[in-house]
Amino acid sequence: MRFTKMHGIGNDYIYVDVFNQTVSHPEALAVKIADRHFGVGGDGLILISPPTAPAAALGAVVRMRMFNADGSEAEMCGNGVRCVAKYAFDHQLTSANPMRVQTGIGVLTLDLWIERGKVNRVTVNMGKPILKASDIPVKLANVEQVINHPWRDVLKLHDLATGSDWIKSAGLEDTMTCVSMGNPHVVLYCKHLEKVPLEMVGPYIEKHPIFPRRVNVHFVMVHQAGEITMRTWERGSGITMACGTGAAAVCVAGVLTEKTHRIVLTNLPGGQLALKWNQADDCVYMTGPATEVFSGEWPEN
């Protein structure tokens, strides 16, 4: 099986072109091939295939299916879809620009920035954020939207084995905000990101009972209204260098909590993304690079 390793500011996946080959059990393959010691290594597996007939009728020319490193299928990946567009264009699956891509949250429109005949950057219309708690979903009684909602009696982070010292040293604020970009996100703000024990707090919050479909966890530090830094524990993959849907959710959360502008430069461990929550159409637009690293063959047995 031929594969290509790609990344969007360090959020790396193994991409398989299934226009010309088949993958029978992608969930099992994702676990094996994404292993950083015994496989190729990555945050998961992404299949690039022809769109379904209904999606093609909406203008889609390519389809993305995404599987996390634990084998679970996710709805969407902002960094991943940029790489799908780059692969499809650079490998001549389509010359469409703008390009319509079928994802688990619907058909998205991507504008390609071409340099020397190759895709260098991509702007993705990530669609409209979902704010209704039951649709994210978040299970909180009598709560319509989770915006600046106190987390202490809900998440009870003080009760973790890590203790509560980090909460004070990180300057963790007392509220959380939840947003869905087709997949669920929770955003918490702090003053010192480096003090957050993400490897311990992340999995605890991800699997907390109030999140029935689990959740992507983001800790955010605001530098100014137009710039933030964030760290992510990604559902099903763990700590990642970047999270595109997460950056979009953080952009929305910043506006809702009046911490940031609608246009914000987002710093992630792997690089920078430019985000805009457009007031005219209520959609979030994300611009960032897409990089091909190498290709190879994976034994099919």
The upper half-sphere exposure of residue 293, i.e. CA atoms within 13 Å in the direction of its Cβ, equals 17
Interaxial angle between packed helices 244-256 and 78-90, expressed in degrees from 0 to 180 and rounded to the nearest 10: 130
Q: Which of 83, 178, 243, 283 is catalytic?
A: 243
Q: Output the six-digit token pair for 138.
A: 């978040």
Active site residue 243: yes
Rg from Cα positions in the chain? 19
Beta strands in the chain (DSSP E): 2-8, 11-17, 44-49, 62-68, 73-74, 99-103, 106-115, 118-125, 149-150, 175-180, 184-189, 216-224, 227-234, 238-240, 263-268, 271-277, 284-289, 291-297
Closest CA to 111 of 242, 119, 103, 284: 119
Closest CA to 233 of 188, 279, 201, 192: 201
Three-class SS state of 166: helix
Q: Output the six-digit token pair for 186.
A: 């929770």
* Burial (CB count within 10 angstroms: exposed 0-12, middle 13-18, buried 19+), residue 258: exposed
Active site residue 77: yes
Alpha-carbon gap, residue 164 to 257, rounded angstroms: 25
CB proximity list for 25: less than 8 A, separation 6 or greater: none
Judge contact between 48 and 88, C-beta under 8 A: yes
Closest CA to 246 of 262, 267, 225: 267
Q: Which of 77, 178, 251, 283 is catalytic?
A: 77
Q: Which residues are catalytic?
A: 77, 243
